[in-house]
Amino acid sequence: MLDLGIGALRDAHAQGRALGAFSVYNLEGAQAVCAAAELERAPVIMQAGSSAFAYAGRRALAGLALGAAADSSARVGVHLDHARELEEILACLELGYSSVMVDGSALPFDDNVRLTRTVVQAAHAAGAWVEGELAGIAGDEDRSADTPAHALTDPAAAEAFVARTGVDALAVAIGNVHGISARPVTLDFDRLAVIRDRLELPLVLHGASGLLDEQLAQAVALGVAKVNVNTELRHALKHALQTIGSAPPGGDSMSDLLAPAREAITDSARQKIRALRRPSAAGIHNTRGPDA
């Protein structure tokens, strides 16, 4: 069912766990994310975002994502990821998205505040919640590139940004990058702890593909309540298609060609859901306790 408002995110935050947020580009991806949620009996966020619209078209991709979520027996939210244009955000809110991310990280601080505050007002009026961002996350959302982390979230700036905008969640830059980096990713957990202590709201970790489960667990224990995954799903899809190509089935039906890829995405999403709800990710390292 399409039902993942801010209450689900706040519950995850209060309980020391995180929601998996999975990017989709087509029908198979949307179905796979819903299947993973159903099999794991876990709420999830399906991200049908700005960059994916360039491939599938906004109305087409939004429609199939919302339809798949509505038909699912699991609780599935549909989220607009990395939107930079107000027109696109308003259009997705009108279509029925449950949450949006406004990415004003490339703007001067005051301009980012103004844009984000406008989005918050519109989203809340539509019953949706808003994720904001300050320091941009390095790398490419849609393809792997060996890009090192650059700007990091300043805790004082984050505190001022949240106070002035009223966002419901904040994406943090603590050394994480989009895509799977060829070099080891070191997360600045000390910085994350300071941000957590300054802000009483859920934090979001982008670029979770390729991170160790132990890294994810520590991030969740330090206030991260939404974890974005994209590249690992794409890699699962690519591997499945390559396997089919090297040993094609007897027929040429679309189900023979695409069902294995859908199953591979489902399996990848299930693994991440399990990692995010392991006991170590449920507050063992959380010195504030689950009700802090």
The domain locations on the chain are: 6-281
pTM comes to 0.88
| Per-residue pLDDT at 96 | 97
How far is the C-alpha of 62 from the C-alpha of 148, rounded, in Å?
32
How far is the C-alpha of 102 from the C-alpha of 117, rounded, in Å?
10
> Which is more confident, 178 or 152?
152
Is pLDDT above 90 for 102?
A: yes
Per-residue pLDDT, averaged over 20-36, amounts to: 97
| Per-residue pLDDT at 31 | 98
Is pLDDT above 70 for 86?
A: yes
Q: For residue 51, how many other CB atoms are within 10 A of its CB?
A: 17
Could you give the angle at which helices 27-40 and 231-246 cross, rounded to 10 degrees?
A: 110
The 3-state DSSP class for residue 249 equals coil
Give the H or E element holding residue 52: helix 50-56
Q: What angle do CA 134, 139, 142 make, to 5 degrees?
A: 110
Active-site residues, by number, are: 81
Q: Please, what CATH class does the domain formed by 6-281 belong to?
A: alpha beta
Reported confidence tier of residue 148, pLDDT bands at 50, 70, 90: very low
Is pLDDT above 50 for 119?
A: yes
Q: For residue 283, how many other CB atoms are within 10 A of its CB?
A: 19
